[in-house]
Chains A and B, each alone.
Chain A
Amino acid sequence: MKQPRLLIVEDEPHLKETWQQMLEIFGHQAHFSKNGLEATKALEKEQFDLIVTDIQMPVKDGYFVLDYIQSKEIKSNVWVCTGQLAFDERLDAYSVDRVIFKPFNMLGLVQEIGDLFQ
């Protein structure tokens, strides 16, 4: 089985830690960034199969990451996690594969990641 290269952009430390633990159980590894700026720096250096990004973050938010992905024509799968209650129409401007509303079913998501890159 090919190991998917994952980038998780999440500022909440507990949530980041839980992603890490959950992915580990299923044998995945991920690169973690805690804001939009860190994420774009990682994207400069590396290619990822899947980018999971939060929207509201300090320093630079998720839209900063989405702008970067769009401008560099990065072809990764992009999932957006948002703590907002309703769909933000700003997302319509980007090619996003999936919008996930918090709180989400992390176990389900990790299993899907496994299925996606089998």
Chain B
Amino acid sequence: MDQQIFLNTNSNLQSVLEFSLDSIMVCDSKGKIVYWNPASEKLFGYTEQEAFGKDLTIIIPNEMHDMHTNGMNRFMSTREGKLIGNTIEVNAKKKDQSIFPVELSLFHWEEDGSIFVCAFIRDITTRIKSEDELADLRSIIDSSPSCVRLIDSFGNLKKVNPVGLDLIGAESPEQVYDACIYDIVHEDDRERFKEFNEMICKGGSGTLIFKIVSLNGTERIFETFARPHQMSNGQIGHLAITNDISERVKADEKLRKKDAELEEAQRLSVIGEFAAGIAHEVNNPLAVLIAKTQLLELQIKSLDIDAEDKVKELFKSLEIIHETVNHTADLIKNLKTFSTKDKFGTLEFSSLSEIIDVALNICKSRCSFAGIELKIDIHEKIEVECSPVSLSQVILNLILNAIHAIETIENKWISIKTKTSEKGLQILVTDCGSGIPDDIVGKIMHPFFTTKEPGKGTGIGLSLSRKAVAKMNGQLYYNTNSPNTQFIIEFEKYR
């Protein structure tokens, strides 16, 4: 049957076929093209005359020719085929030999003992391309090293990639979709995050660093870059790329701390150098003072004085001079010690009440002069492993600070007592003050920080004291939980 006969016998279909946007072709039982509509010409590049009578293989990629021929033969002999009656996606070939994807539907009929197969072919190049692009995009987002997420103006999570799920500690998207993300933002940052989200959903863009508490309870610090995004329902959502910067923040903090420690060490080493420089100048006069004091004691003893009380008083004064000079000498020695690692003196178990007495002897008169009541409650048998000179200096330093701090308070007192806990022995040095103001409490241990007037304090006392206690394997810290101003010196080793 030639094409004319085929068309004549199917005349009522002709116009439908001619106007179809899909390529439609018919071939006979030998696989020869007997109908070729205008859309086929447009799609494949062969004119009707060129296609007519040609084998259907002109539109089939070479590597599929065998498959096609076998399939055709099988169908013609058995009337059973895999493709006939189905719609499949397959590659096709144009006149210029280029290959492109098509959607192919086949059906057949018999007429006057002949079999005809009709093919409907639709170019799906564009669809496949956009599908591929979408898949690419999807996989890029899924494998992005950052969390990519979309939330609506109420904070409900609409989309999130696997990294995002991992960061918030969720096991599946279902667990968190449409859940309010505000709930996992750390309460300190929640209001800020809400405001940020609302700003983005009104069309703004920006960056935010905030803390979250993930579903498995770990705290993380996130940095997020956000822009508005129109969602499929027309509302504006908050599209963001978020990174976990907890490690970076931790590392930064560590570095800052290290820098601060280094700076402190440098400052202390300057003090050490300074102390070494003036040591000779100071130690000579101190040597004179001590020796002269001893001489005075001897000379007074050799005098024939009846008034025993008066002599006692003289001796007491000399003793105080002696102790003060010793204290000054030790101070200079210790200044040097603080800046270098060695030559600190060995740690030994020493009587705490004796150590405190040494400190008190130096400041007792100052306390009574300032009207300060000293409340000392130390069990006389307690011994701590320490360097006794250093520890009494630390305690003296705390008392001197307290005397200065409570100057203007009525009913002044300073108390020293001990407390034992599983951590060890605590020496509590408390004064009647109501604590250190919040704005300076972080700085009190820093070298050269002082609240005293210029010339009255060096600002190195607490900083040196803390170092000294640390060298004795102890800890010196300010107790923020006490209603009064309280410093605690803690030693693990005591008896």
Contacts and interface: CB of A to CB of B under 8 A. Distances in A.
B295 A21 contact: yes
Interface string A1-30: 000000000001011001101100100000
B291 A102 contact: no
Nearest to B326: A103
B279 A84 contact: yes
Interface string B243-281: 000000000000000000000000000000001100111
Contact of B287 (A25, A86, A103, A107): A103
B290 A15 contact: no
Contacts of B288: 12, 14-15, 18
Interface string A38-64: 000000000000000000100000000
B294 A106 contact: yes
Contacts of A18: 288, 291-292, 295
A57 B416 CA distance: 46
B118 interface: no
B287 A102 contact: yes
Given A102-B287, A104-B290, A106-B290, A83 B280 contact: yes
**Interface SS of chain B:** helix
B289 interface: yes
Interface residues of A, number: 21
B284 interface: yes
Nearest to B290: A103
A103 B329 contact: yes
Interface in A89-118: 101-107
Given A18-B295, A22-B295, A84 B280 contact: yes
A21 B296 CA distance: 10
A85 B276 contact: yes
B333 interface: yes
Nearest to A17: B288
B291 A15 contact: yes
Contacts of A86: 276, 336, 340, 343
Nearest to A11: B284
Contact of A85 (B286, B291, B294, B333): B333
Given A12-B284, A85-B333, A106 B279 contact: no
Contacts of A19: 291
A85 B281 CA distance: 11
B291 A83 contact: no
B291 A22 contact: yes
Given A85-B332, A85-B336, A102 B284 contact: yes
B336 A103 contact: no
A103 B329 CA distance: 7
Contacts of A22: 291, 294-295, 298
Contact of A107 (B281, B298, B326, B336): B298
A27 to B, nearest CB: 13
A102 B280 CA distance: 8
Interface in B389-443: none
B479 interface: no
Contact of B284 (A15, A85, A87, A107): A15
A104 B298 CA distance: 17
B325 interface: yes
A83 B284 contact: yes
B283 to A, nearest CB: 4
A31 B244 CA distance: 79
A22 B302 CA distance: 13
Contacts of A87: 343
B298 A15 contact: no
Contacts of B279: 83-85
A25 B287 CA distance: 18
B289 A103 contact: yes
B294 A107 contact: yes
Contacts of B340: 86
Contacts of B285: 14
A12 B284 CA distance: 7
Given A83-B280, A84-B276, A85-B333, A15 B294 contact: no
Contacts of B287: 12, 15, 83, 102-104, 106
Interface in B82-97: none
Interface string B79-123: 000000000000000000000000000000000000000000000
Interface in A59-87: 83-87
Interface in B271-329: 275-276, 279-281, 283-292, 294-295, 298, 302, 325-326, 329
Nearest to A107: B294
Nearest to B292: A18
A105 B322 CA distance: 10
Contacts of A14: 285, 288, 292
B298 A25 contact: yes
Interface in B159-202: none
A36 to B, nearest CB: 16
A103 B280 contact: no
Contacts of B290: 103-106
B148 to A, nearest CB: 62
A103 B283 contact: yes
A14 B279 CA distance: 17
Interface of A: 12, 14-15, 18-19, 21-22, 25, 56, 83-87, 101-107
15 contacts: A12-B284, A14-B292, A18-B292, A18-B295, A19-B291, A22-B294, A83-B283, A84-B276, A85-B276, A87-B343, A102-B286, A103-B325, A103-B326, A103-B329, A106-B291
Given A19-B291, A22-B294, A103-B325, 18 more contacts: A14-B288, A15-B288, A25-B295, A25-B302, A83-B279, A83-B284, A85-B332, A85-B336, A86-B276, A87-B343, A102-B283, A102-B284, A103-B329, A105-B290, A105-B294, A106-B287, A107-B294, A107-B298
